Amino acid sequence: MQHLLARLYAAAARRRRRYFATHPSARRRLRCPVVSVGALSAGGSGKTPVAAVVARRLVAMGERPALLSRGYRRADPVEGVVVVRDHSTVRGTLETAGDEPWMLAQQLDGVAVVVAPDRHLAGTLAESHLGATVHVLDDGFQHFALERCVDLVVVRPHDLEDAVLPAGKLREALTTAVEADAVLVVDPDAGVRAGVAERLGVTTCFGVTTTLQPPVVRSPAAAEEQVLVGVPVFAVAGIADPGRFVRDLSSAGWAPVGSALFPDHHPYTEADIQRCVRQAAAAGAELIVTTEKDWVRSARWFPSTVQVAVACLETKVEPAGGFDRLLAERLAIAREHAA
């Protein structure tokens, strides 16, 4: 039954993509160019870290980017547009922003972060009130309603063995990847990336590497310092693949003595954190380690006496020079056509 539903879902996705391709007037345009970062897979693809990389590269190129997000699963989904950050100052709240936009607002100097279900409205405000010169559309590969100058799609090698929803996690069939201007394969091996590109039938391909950085203590009661390898830690994670976080910690030398794993975007409560603290103590952990995305949702509930460290992922797109050239060329073409 699931495979039948998957075929129906894939067919509906194809029809929707074809409609917007044959009816360009159905797409709305912003004055400034739009760089879309998306994925074929629903959840855990790494598209938001890549969107952050794109925003940083645009800042380095002298642009004033605005990152446009829908604010998925916000605790307080207020109507209209929420400016989570202008180009210099964080202005929003976690509840009205959502965990990923709030996290990005803390990370991205020189980038505006704007949230709204209507990304065209968000971009219009960013242009008129924040002076944005370019937009980064987070999770935009299936957001056909907004015109873009470049479509980037993030793919993991295991996506090639997956199925379309609900039989798997793919939002569209793999053949849709050829619609992207470039595919970004999350794998450090150039041979694997080339194999994925060949399988998908795409010619422009970049690599995405992610490296877990040493956990840094963030607790108010302790100085910010890196956690030494070998220290017994307790892992807390509520992301798309929390088990991977535990495995990454282990392979990097911080073998957890226990863990508490939650669904993606889990809204932590005080009771959740109290339970984690008790479990960590019972397991003999010296401190709790969590992800940056989890920290923004859970920090308020940790007692000041409990040591908590945050392990961040460093994401890079390579070759960096070629990627910068692609962005610069597409921006130039978009502005030439708009002139």
Q: What's 147's domain CATH number? A: 3.40.50
Best CA proximity match to 259, nearest among 242, 272, 239, 271 = 242
Q: Kindly state whether residues 125 and 241 are assigned to the same domain.
A: no
For residue 21, give the amino acid letter.
A
Q: Kindly state whether residues 167 and 261 are assigned to the same domain.
A: no
Q: Kindly state whether residues 284 and 157 are assigned to the same domain.
A: no
Q: Kindly state whether residues 201 and 221 are assigned to the same domain.
A: no
Best CA proximity match to 146, nearest among 136, 154, 155 = 136
| 8 Å CB contact between 122 and 115 | yes
**H or E stretch at 332:** helix 320-338
The β-bridge relationship of strands 112-115 and 82-85 is: antiparallel
Give DSSP secondary structure letters for 273-285: HHHHHHHHHHHT-
pTM, whole model, 2 decimals?
0.93
Quickly count: other Cβ atoms within 10 Å of residue 267's Cβ.
15
Give tens-digit pLDDT for 248-273.
999 989 889 999 999 999 999 999 99
Containing structural domain, residue 70: 2-210+316-338
Quickly count: other Cβ atoms within 10 Å of residue 15's Cβ.
9
Q: Kindly state whether residues 94 and 137 are assigned to the same domain.
A: yes
| 8 Å CB contact between 255 and 284 | no
Q: Kindly state whether residues 35 and 97 are assigned to the same domain.
A: yes
Residue segments in the chain with a per-residue pLDDT below the cut of 50:
none
- pLDDT score, position 1: 73
Tokens representing 10? 């894939």
| 8 Å CB contact between 147 and 21 | no
Assign residue 306 the CATH number of its domain. 3.40.50.2300
Q: Kindly state whether residues 103 and 171 are assigned to the same domain.
A: yes
Q: Kindly state whether residues 202 and 253 are assigned to the same domain.
A: no
Q: Kindly state whether residues 174 and 57 are assigned to the same domain.
A: yes
Q: Kindly state whether residues 162 and 275 are assigned to the same domain.
A: no
- pLDDT score, position 254: 87
- Count of domains forming the chain: 2
Quickly count: other Cβ atoms within 10 Å of residue 178's Cβ.
12
Q: Kindly state whether residues 73 and 196 are assigned to the same domain.
A: yes
- pLDDT score, position 152: 98
Q: Kindly state whether residues 160 and 50 are assigned to the same domain.
A: yes
What is the C-alpha separation between 240 and 243, in angstroms, rounded?
9
